Amino acid sequence: MGISRRQFLGWLGAAAGTSAVLGEKTEAASNKVFKGYPGSFGVLHDTTRCIGCRKCEEACNRVNELPLPKIPFEDLAVLNTKRRTQSDAYTVVNRFINNGNMQPVFVKSQCNHCLEPACASACFVKALKKVSTGAVVYDSSLCVGCRYCMIACPFNIPAYEYNNPLTPRVMKCTMCHPLIEKGLLPGCVEACPKEALTFGPREKLLKEAWQRIEKYSDRYLDHIYGEHEMGGTGWVYLSGRPFADIGMRDDLGIQPASSYTSGPLAAVPVVVGLWPVLLTGIYAISKRKDKISEEERIEAVSRTKANANEEMKAKLAALKDTMTKEKEAAINLEVKRALEDAAKKIKAEQPESAKDESVNISGEEK
């Protein structure tokens, strides 16, 4: 069985792995460090307030119209296992327990909506992009299924619809971008009963976070995760425990993803120029291959139906012949029985003097 267009382009996309190969200017793949859109929104997650109730998971599921999980949201036993986001779960809450007597810490994981996202930097067809609200959104109509965004993401967030063989998509949190555009809160923020999630302009969230740190220095670390990591993220965190102890990477540095991709790309101008031509040719070949495959499938189905019809006709003809023979045999048997009954009746009605003579059914004397 041949590979699909998505698979073929995906392998090539993974090999190239950048949006700049199309030769178009984008913030995500330029030498300029992109500091995010002015006034863009974000979310502050205060892990010291989170109680692990999973209300945010339930709200995310409802707002995004995702399939219900096998384990109900009320069942907190799932917190015994560390989870990651999936194609049908844009956000998950994990519990981290210290070996000492400290209380468990609950951490909500979802797309962090980086100021200069690695996923968008790696996407050469611009299916992923940063928008002015602060969200990193996805356009499935542009995606070729290369899944390089999954490799590029330092937070291991994007998930692929492997169970959807026809039109698989890359799935992740959108920060409820459609709701934000309507002036509404993201579903998870609105559902949080302990105000562990705060939504607003990113700059104001950072000020709020630093005020909490200064006011309750014994509760918080002197650090806001996401303020500078990977060039900054829209989703920022407060914690009373080292971030490495609650499942968060502390080895990312402060440089955005594009700073690692723009240099190598500048050294291969020939490949950059030829890439669109190569993609166009591969796309045409793949489309032709898909068309031939579909034609072969249709022909095979038609051939199978024709063979089935012929076989059915033959079986019906044989059945009809058998039924005809059985019917004739039954009629002959009934005629024979009727003749025998008539002969017996005639014999019974003869006078005693004539009983010595037998008369057959045709009237001939014996």
Q: Tell me: the pLDDT tens digits for 273-316?
A: 444 555 555 555 555 556 666 777 787 777 877 887 787 788 88
Q: What is the DSSP letter of 359?
A: B
Residue 152: partners with Cβ closer than 8 Å, 6 or more residues away: 17, 118, 119, 121, 122, 257
Exposed/middle/buried for residue 22 (C-beta within 10 Å: 0-12, 13-18, 19+):
middle
Instruction: With a cut of 50, say whether residue 206 has pLDDT above it.
Output: yes
Find the mean pLDDT for residues 27-48. Answer: 76
d(CA 240, CA 224): 11
Find the mean pLDDT for residues 37-64. Answer: 96
Read off the pLDDT of residues 160-177 as tens digits, 9 standing for 90 and up. Answer: 999 887 889 999 999 999
Q: What is the DSSP letter of 114?
A: B
Distances (CA, A) of 197 to 30, 188, 200, 261: 33, 8, 10, 33
pLDDT score at 88: 96
Kindly give the interhelix angle for 269-349 and 5-16, rounded to the nearest 10 degrees: 160
166 vs 57, residue with greater confidence: 57
Helix (H, G, I), strand (E, B) or coil at 215: helix
Q: Which two tokens stand for residue 183?
A: 């002036």
Q: How far out from the chain centre does Cα 336 lie?
A: 74
Residue 99: partners with Cβ closer than 8 Å, 6 or more residues away: none
Distances (CA, A) of 131 to 114, 138, 276: 11, 10, 25
Distances (CA, A) of 301 to 157, 209, 288, 306: 41, 64, 20, 9
Instruction: With a cut of 90, say whether residue 89 has pLDDT above it.
Output: yes
Helix ranges restricted to H, the chain: 5-16, 55-63, 118-122, 148-152, 177-181, 187-191, 202-215, 258-266, 269-349
pTM: 0.65
Percent pLDDT > 70 in the chain is 76
Instruction: With a cut of 70, say whether residue 270 has pLDDT above it.
Output: no
124 vs 209, residue with greater confidence: 209
d(CA 332, CA 3): 66
d(CA 20, CA 23): 5
Closest CA to 58 of 45, 47, 71: 71
pLDDT score at 272: 44
Q: Which two tokens stand for residue 251?
A: 């080895």
Instruction: Name residue, tokens 């959108």.
Output: 174
pLDDT score at 329: 80
